[in-house]
């Protein structure tokens, strides 16, 4: 086996870093100082309205042609099921799930629907090195299975743990996640199936800027009903799906520690170094190499010159 | 049964009388004008139509609690009074008169472009029904389950994978992570 010395270790490390950065640079250019799509659509989810009827789950299942559920959608025992101490999550059979939260603050349970929040600057998109994700002007974050290589980096990158992997088809990689009904509805200006199905209008659809206004109006005009915060207005740089709640958001399963700026901002500085590294480093190190080896060359030339001189001297002496 | 109805009718007439003689309420509609039952069927597809017993609900709520200001009752909500203290009451007492069946259609999206539109958050017809009914039922312990008010149709059973269309076991489990 080849011995791994310091030089070869550094060489390998540099090469890998450079390769990784070449790939990342592309996505950073696409979403660098992205000013969002002002006409993008959004949904505001009002937890005070949801009654946990699971109509949204049923509608999503049919619209997206997902597999038959394990139990009927009108079976409410699912709210008591825990997987490894965790409430239900999206998986390859469900793009959206509703969970029940019993909070001491109020005398009735609250229900929270989860699905892809369709970030303004999606971390899944940023992390994907084959550009399988697209943020459409309509506001949806869609996914292209044709280019996906199944690395599942998006699953790690997502701050909301939403994309899931279809383990049943590992050889034709497929990420399963809510696409805002983009193909069948959103691009025609229609609301997603879950919104249309909701009897309580707990889901309000419209342009993101408009539903944000609606959320603020509800907070202002019904004092005491809501906490004065819209989850998703600023979280991870803003999301198309946002939430209103009557109790603090951390009491109903929300991660309130996510940054208030896009995930990409935490890697932006690093990404900005990429062009510098790629353009300056090669010249710089070639220069170092030449400098370092120049002495040897000069020495060699001097030696040759000396040898030549000596030879000439010898020849002269012979002639004499 | 008949006797009970007569008693309720009399009670209603008395209540209506009281309302009629209350000052400032002379334009009020009379509860007696209302139909005894209303068949709510315009949205029925996953569920059967609802046979709404209007007469019975008159005992539980004032007209304005469901019909807002459309029955001639003066506006009481301080928020609504800001604009509607002296505006003529709505002349359409039906729910669908204001609450659109096509909730998030193109018309709604266009309306939101109006910068002076105040009612940017008016529920659609389905939302108006359920928010109104379930909201009140939760407070007074009325029925709140989906099939307590309307039976599921076959299309509904298909949608919810229940009844005839319930999963036959061996379905893809939800335990994948």
Q: Are residues A91 and A159 in the same domain?
A: yes
- Encode burial over B89-124: b for 16+ CB neighbours within 10 A, e otherwise: bbeebebeeebbeebbeeebbeebeeeeeeebbebb
**Tell me, what's the ipTM?**
0.79
Q: Are residues A239 and A287 in the same domain?
A: no
Q: Return mean pLDDT, chain B.
A: 81
Alpha carbons B161 and A223: distance in angstroms, whole number: 40
What are the chain A neighbours of B137 within 8 Å (beta carbons)?
A: none
Q: Are residues A232 and A314 in the same domain?
A: no
Tokens for B113, please give them.
């472009």
Q: Are residues A248 and A309 in the same domain?
A: no
Alpha carbons B22 and B25: distance in angstroms, whole number: 6
Q: Is residue A60 part of a domain?
A: yes
Q: Are residues A191 and A77 in the same domain?
A: yes
CB pairs A-B closer than 8 Å: 102
Tens digit of pLDDT for each residue in A8-30?
Answer: 655 655 555 555 555 444 444 44
For strand A41-46 and strand A241-244, is the pairing parallel, antiparallel, or unpaired? Answer: parallel
Q: Are residues A287 and A241 in the same domain?
A: no
Q: Return mean pLDDT, chain A.
A: 88
Query: Which of the residue ranges A87-101, A134-148, A168-182 would you say has the lowest mean pLDDT?
Result: A168-182
Using CA atoms, how far residue A130 sits from A268, A278, A292, B54, B62, in Å, is 19, 20, 40, 60, 62
What CATH superfamily classification does B35-163 receive? Answer: Cytochrome C3 (3.90.10.10)
Is residue A158 predicted with pLDDT exceeding 70?
A: yes
For strand A164-165 and strand A175-176, is the pairing parallel, antiparallel, or unpaired? Answer: antiparallel
Is residue A262 predicted with pLDDT exceeding 70?
A: yes
* Domain assignment of residue A300, given as a range: 6-19+269-319
Phi, psi angles (nearest 5°) of residue A239: -125, 155
Q: Is residue A76 part of a domain?
A: yes
Q: Are residues A64 and A212 in the same domain?
A: yes
Q: Are residues A288 and A192 in the same domain?
A: no
Q: Are residues A149 and A81 in the same domain?
A: yes
pLDDT of residue A266: 80
List the single residue in B131, B167, B173 with the smallest CB-CB distance to A201: B131
Q: Is residue A303 part of a domain?
A: yes
What are the chain B neighbours of A201 within 8 Å (beta carbons)?
A: 103, 123-124, 126-127, 130-131
- Residue A144, domain CATH: 3.30.70.20
Q: Are residues A201 and A282 in the same domain?
A: no
Are the CB atoms for A268 and A28 separated by under 8 Å? yes
For chain B, the C-alpha Rg in angstroms (whole number) is 21
| DSSP secondary structure code for residue A185 in this structure | T
Is residue B31 predicted with pLDDT exceeding 50?
A: yes
Inter-chain touch B109–A108, beta carbons under 8 Å: no
Q: Are residues A289 and A162 in the same domain?
A: no
Q: Are residues A244 and A296 in the same domain?
A: no
Tokens for A33, please give them.
């100082």
Alpha carbons B131 and A304: distance in angstroms, whole number: 97
Give the DSSP H or E segment for B138. helix B125-140
Could you give the number of structural domains in chain A?
2
Is residue B35 predicted with pLDDT exceeding 50?
A: yes
Using CA atoms, how far residue A62 sits from A52, A94, A132, B159, in Å, is 18, 11, 24, 7
């Amino acid at each position: 086996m080849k011995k791994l010395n310091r030089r070869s270790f550094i060489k390998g490390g540099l090469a890998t870093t450079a390769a990784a950065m070449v790939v990342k640079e592309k996505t950073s250019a696409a979403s660098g100082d992205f000013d969002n799509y002002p006409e993008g659509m959004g949904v505001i989810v009002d937890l005070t309205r949801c009654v946990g009827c699971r109509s949204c789950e049923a509608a999503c299942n049919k619209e997206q042609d997902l597999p038959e559920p394990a139990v009927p959608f009108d079976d409410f025992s699912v709210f008591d099921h825990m997987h490894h101490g965790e409430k239900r999550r999206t998986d390859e059979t469900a793009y959206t799930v509703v969970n029940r939260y019993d909070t001491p603050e109020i005398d009735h349970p609250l229900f929270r629907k989860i699905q892809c929040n369709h970030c303004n600057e999606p971390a899944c998109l940023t992390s994907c090195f084959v550009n399988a994700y697209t943020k459409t002007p309509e506001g949806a974050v869609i996914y292209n299975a044709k280019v996906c290589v199944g690395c599942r980096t998006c699953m790690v990158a997502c701050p909301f743990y939403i994309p899931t992997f279809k383990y049943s088809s590992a050889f034709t990689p497929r990420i399963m996640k809510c696409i805002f009904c983009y193909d069948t509805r959103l691009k025609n200006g229609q609301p997603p199936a879950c919104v249309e199905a909701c009897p309580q209008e707990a889901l309000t659809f419209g342009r993101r800027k408009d539903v944000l206004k609606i959320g603020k109006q509800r907070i202002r005009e019904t004092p005491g009903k809501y906490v004065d915060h819209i989850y998703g207005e600023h979280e991870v740089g803003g999301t198309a799906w946002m939430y209103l709640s009557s109790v603090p958001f951390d009491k109903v399963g929300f991660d309130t520690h996510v940054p208030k700026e896009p995930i990409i901002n935490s890697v932006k500085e690093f990404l900005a170094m990429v062009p510098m590294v790629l353009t300056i480093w090669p010249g710089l190190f070639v220069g170092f190499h030449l400098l370092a080896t120049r002495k040897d060359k000069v020495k060699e030339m001097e030696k040759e010159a000396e040898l030549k001189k000596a030879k000439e001297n010898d020849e002269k002496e012979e002639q004499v | 049964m008949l006797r009970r109805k007569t008693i309720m009718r009399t009670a209603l007439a008395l209540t209506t009388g009281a309302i009629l003689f209350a000052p400032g309420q002379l334009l009020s509609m009379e509860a007696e004008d209302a139909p005894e039952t209303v068949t709510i069927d315009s949205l029925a597809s996953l569920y059967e139509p609802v046979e709404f017993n209007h007469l019975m609900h008159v005992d539980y709520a004032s007209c304005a609690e469901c019909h807002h200001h459309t029955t001639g009752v003066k506006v009481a909500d301080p928020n609504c009074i800001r604009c509607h203290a002296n505006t003529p009451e709505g002349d359409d007492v039906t729910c669908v008169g204001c609450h659109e069946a096509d909730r998030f259609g193109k018309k709604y999206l266009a309306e939101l472009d109006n910068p002076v539109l105040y009612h940017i958050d008016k529920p659609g017809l389905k939302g108006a029904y359920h928010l109104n009914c379930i909201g009140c039922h939760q407070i007074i312990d009325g029925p709140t389950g989906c099939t307590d008010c309307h039976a599921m149709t076959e299309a509904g059973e298909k949608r919810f994978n229940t009844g005839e269309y319930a999963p036959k076991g061996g379905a893809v489990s939800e335990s994948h992570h």
